[in-house]
């Protein structure tokens, strides 16, 4: 998706007579958004925005080994070969110059001079372009942050949203309006804000003894932007996987979840153990053992390290065990421990996204973990199974959107009463609007907030179609065309699946986290690409069928399974 952002000036922190002013430049391509207020607790805001920055730049994808020594050896070999070729070429040119006039020494000297001139023009232009990008729009930064953070000014709060570079973590910092004094120039809405490494470094200068003024600068809307000297446009090509992953996590937030309270000590024990230990083998999940009326137990695999949260018993309706992934990203919460008042975890189910909420007085950071390190999981994970089994109608989507015209914040019950639709259909509509980036579910407040994440309305075609192999795998499972003949767990923790899909023999080897290690299938997709381009429909169908006990067939059953935790 091609996205154009326009800014007047740059976001910055300005020092004036012992006070600081955080000035954020809004995107001029969106509706006017403005805010001006003085922070009560600038130190708390500094740490919270720093943690959000860590989410933005986090990239835990596989990094190749350092091969600098080997590459230096290869470079030396190439240099030696180049010297040999240069010597042979000089000898051949000298021989040719004696017999061909065009290869005379004077002609060769002129050719060499023209070559050096053209090469100089090329490299000068290239260096100038490189210097411009480094100063104004570094390419490295655009690789780290495909899209600038989004800020929303709501009637009761301000909140910032971002998605990580490796497309696996979502961050949302919510700041209540009562965290500010002397509010003025308030204009509700959503916009992108100019963000850079320099601004992050300036955030570290915030101190509690200095008055800190925070404002989304509205002056950019008060000039003829085409004539403004500081006006600039940035054209960004959002990767389809980034946009799809971001929207899927948003859709996951709109569904009912289990809420687990975690004390400061409990979160500290989890983080301290993960910092000191590194798993060399699967499984690498965080296991929540939930029993109504009893303390919640968090188990870190594969060490089976058990951390019991004695402070608050689990208040859910039924006992269950939920395993979630992505725990390495929890380390960025460590800087918030001294400011933490309470923490909560919101769980959808095993293998599904989890959301960790940290409250620091009037501020709250929400960290969403999708479970994958690379977005390979989007085509084969349970995220695709979050979608309702039926398409919500355009009329229902319009009715839900209309309920936010009077107020950008609504509860689920208010939306249901205003639309008159059944709860399951309302949930399906909210899920679809969240997937399209039109609204967000505030988990702690229990309300839905209308905010458009992009300056233009999105469609499912823009977000990206479902993986064809995954779509066909779902059809095979729904059509009961999968017959599992073997489901065995080996002593080393690996799992072997065998079956017929539909009449094709399929074999699959899974690790302790149910990720595919090896597979065997006779179809053309697997024969040509194996697992490198994603598993074929038959391998996916075999795993999904082995892991599925009951599949929702109606919206009512789908909604009930989410609310009650039915597997």
CB neighbours of residue 518 within 10 Å: 12
Instruction: For residues 529-537, give the mean pLDDT.
Output: 80
Answer whether residue 24 is part of any domain: yes
Q: Which of 138-147, 204-213, 554-563 has the highest mean pLDDT?
A: 204-213
List the structure tokens of 563.
């609310």
Q: What does the alpha-carbon distance between residue 461 and residue 458 come to, in Å, rounded to a whole number?
A: 8
| Greatest mean pLDDT range, 22-26, 136-140, 160-164 | 160-164
> Within 420-536, where are the H helices?
423-435, 460-463, 468-478, 524-529
Crossing angle of the two packed helices 423-435 and 412-419, in degrees rounded to 10:
110
429 with 456, same domain: the answer is yes
Confidence of residue 221 (pLDDT cuts 50, 70, 90): very low
Kindly state whether residues 16 and 161 are assigned to the same domain: yes
pLDDT of residue 231: 58
End-to-end CA, the chain: 36
Q: 47 with 192, same domain?
A: yes
By residue range, what is the domain housing residue 348? Answer: 245-354+367-374
The larger pLDDT score, comparing residue 139 to residue 236, is at 236
122 phi, psi to nearest 5 deg? -65, -50
Residue 30, pLDDT score: 77
Task: Please indicate, yes or no, if residue 360 is contained in any of the structural domains.
Answer: no
For residues 42 and 186, membership in a common domain is answered with yes
Of 247, 261, 461, 231, the closest CA to residue 343 belongs to: 261
Nearest to 542 by CA among 468, 489, 487: 487
- The CATH number of residue 431's host domain is 1.10.10.10
Residue 511's domain is classified under what CATH number? 3.10.450
State the maximum Cα–Cα separation within the chain, in Å, rounded to a whole number. Answer: 99
Are 156 and 190 found together in one domain? yes
Of the candidates 143, 127, 169, 122, which has an alpha carbon nearest to the alpha carbon of residue 366? 169
Average pLDDT over every residue of 268-289: 90
Let me know if residue 278 belongs to a domain.
Answer: yes
Q: Are residues 334 and 262 in the same domain?
A: yes
Q: Is residue 381 part of a domain?
A: no
Question: Domain tally for the chain?
Answer: 5
Pairwise CA distance, residues 72 & 74, whole Å: 5
Contact present, 159 and 366 (Cβ < 8 Å): no
From edge to edge, which strands make up the β-sheet containing 320-324? Answer: 305-313, 295-300, 286-290, 320-324
Count of Cβ atoms closer than 10 Å to residue 122 Cβ: 10
Domain match, 500 and 530 both: yes
- Indicate whether 424 pLDDT > 90: no
Specify the 3-state DSSP secondary structure of 538: helix
Q: What percent of the chain has pLDDT over 90?
A: 23
What mean pLDDT comes out for the span 517-526? Answer: 90
Closest to 136 in 3D by CA, of 24, 230, 223, 202: 230
Residue 29 has pLDDT above 90, yes or no: no
Domain assignment present for residue 510? The answer is: yes
DSSP secondary structure letters along 63-118:
-----HHHHHHHHHHHHHHHHHHHHHHHHHHHHHHHH-GGGSHHHHHHHHHHHHHH
Q: Per residue in 87-123, pLDDT tens?
A: 888 887 777 666 656 556 666 677 777 777 886 787 6
Residues 440 and 482 placed together within one structural domain of the fold: no
Q: Where on the phi/psi map is residue 152: left (φ > 0), alpha (ψ -120 to 50), or beta?
A: beta
Domain membership of residue 67 (yes or no) is no
**Which CATH number does the domain housing residue 16 bear?**
3.10.150
Please report, for residues 139, 435, 484, the alpha-carbon distance to residue 506 in angstroms, rounded to integers and kept in the order given. Answer: 45, 34, 9
Neighbours of 306 (CB within 10 A): 11
Say yes or no: 26 and 163 in one domain.
Answer: yes
Which of 21, 37, 39, 13 lies closest to 360, judged by CA?
Answer: 39
**474 is a domain residue:** yes
Alpha helices in 441-554 (DSSP H): 460-463, 468-478, 524-529, 537-547
Q: Higher pLDDT residue, 359 or 503? A: 359
pLDDT digits (tens, 9 = 90+) for 307-347: 999 888 888 888 889 988 888 889 889 999 999 999 999 99
Most confidently predicted of 146-155, 217-226, 294-303, 535-544: 294-303
Adjacent-strand bridge partners of 7: 232
Q: What is the 3-state secondary structure (H, E, C) of 327-396?
A: HHHHHHHHHHHHHCCEEEEEECCCCCCEEEEEEECCEEEEEEECCCCCCCHHHHCHHHHHCCCCCCCHHH
**Which residue among 193, 209, 234 closes a domain?**
234
Q: Give yes or no for a contact between 62 and 373, defined as CB atoms under 8 angstroms apart.
A: yes
Q: Is residue 380 part of a domain?
A: no
Residue 542 in contact with residue 506, Cβ under 8 Å? yes
Same domain, 33 and 164: yes
Please compute the mean of the pLDDT values over residues 244-254 and round it to a whole number. Answer: 83
- Residues 32, 169, single domain; the answer is yes
């Amino acid at each position: 998706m091609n996205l154009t952002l326009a800014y007047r000036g740059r976001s910055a922190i300005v020092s004036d007579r012992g006070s600081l002013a955080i000035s954020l430049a809004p995107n001029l391509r969106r509706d006017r958004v403005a805010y001006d207020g003085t922070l009560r607790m600038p130190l708390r805001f500094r740490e919270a925005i720093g943690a959000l920055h860590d989410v933005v730049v986090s990239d835990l994808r596989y990094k190749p080994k350092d091969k600098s020594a080997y590459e230096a050896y290869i470079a030396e070999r190439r240099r030696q070969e180049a010297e040999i070729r240069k010597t042979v070429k000089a000898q051949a040119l000298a021989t040719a110059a004696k017999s061909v006039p065009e290869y005379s020494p004077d002609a060769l000297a002129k050719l060499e001079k023209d070559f050096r001139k053209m090469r100089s023009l090329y490299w000068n232009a290239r260096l100038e372009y490189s210097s411009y990008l480094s100063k104004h729009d570094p390419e490295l930064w655009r690789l780290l942050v495909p899209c600038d953070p989004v800020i929303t000014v709501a009637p009761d709060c301000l909140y910032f949203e971002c998605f990580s570079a490796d497309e696996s973590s979502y961050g949302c910092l919510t700041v209540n309006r009562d965290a500010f004094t002397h509010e003025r120039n308030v204009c509700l809405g959503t916009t992108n804000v100019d963000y850079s490494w320099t601004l992050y470094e300036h955030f570290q200068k915030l101190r509690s003894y200095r008055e800190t003024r925070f404002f989304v600068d509205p002056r950019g809307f008060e000039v003829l932007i085409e004539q403004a000297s500081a006006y600039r446009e940035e054209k960004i090509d959002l990767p389809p996987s980034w946009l799809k992953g971001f929207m899927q996590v948003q859709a996951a937030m709109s569904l009912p979840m289990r809420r687990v309270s975690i004390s400061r000590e409990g979160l500290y024990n989890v983080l301290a153990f993960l910092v000191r230990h590194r798993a060399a083998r699967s499984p690498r999940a965080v296991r929540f053992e939930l029993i109504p009326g009893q303390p919640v137990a968090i188990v870190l695999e594969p060490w089976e390290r058990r951390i019991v949260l004695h402070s608050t018993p689990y208040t859910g309706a039924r006992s269950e065990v939920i395993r979630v992934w992505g725990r390495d990203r929890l380390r960025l919460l460590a800087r918030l421990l001294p400011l933490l008042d309470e923490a909560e975890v919101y769980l959808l189910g095993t293998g599904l996204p989890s959301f960790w909420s940290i409250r620091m007085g009037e501020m709250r950071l929400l960290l969403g973990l999708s479970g994958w390190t690379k977005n390979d999981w989007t085509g084969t994970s349970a995220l695709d199974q979050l979608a309702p089994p039926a398409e919500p109608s355009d009329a229902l989507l319009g009715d839900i959107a209309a309920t936010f015209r009077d107020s950008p914040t609504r509860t689920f019950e208010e939306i249901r009463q205003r639309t008159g639709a059944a709860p399951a259909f309302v949930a399906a509509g909210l899920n679809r609007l969240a997937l399209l980036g039109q609204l967000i579910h505030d988990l702690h407040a229990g309300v839905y907030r209308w905010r458009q994440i992009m300056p233009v309305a999105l469609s499912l075609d823009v977000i990206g179609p479902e993986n064809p192999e995954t779509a066909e795998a779902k059809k095979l499972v729904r059509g009961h065309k999968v017959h599992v003949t073997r489901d065995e767990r080996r002593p080393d923790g690996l799992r072997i699946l065998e079956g017929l899909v539909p009449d094709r023999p399929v074999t699959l080897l899974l690790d302790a986290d149910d990720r595919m290690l090896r597979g065997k299938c006779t179809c053309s997709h697997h024969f040509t690409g194996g697992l490198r381009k994603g598993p074929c429909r038959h391998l996916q169908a075999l795993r999904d069928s082995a892991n599925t006990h009951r599949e929702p067939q109606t919206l009512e059953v789908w909604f009930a399974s989410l609310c009650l935790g039915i597997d």
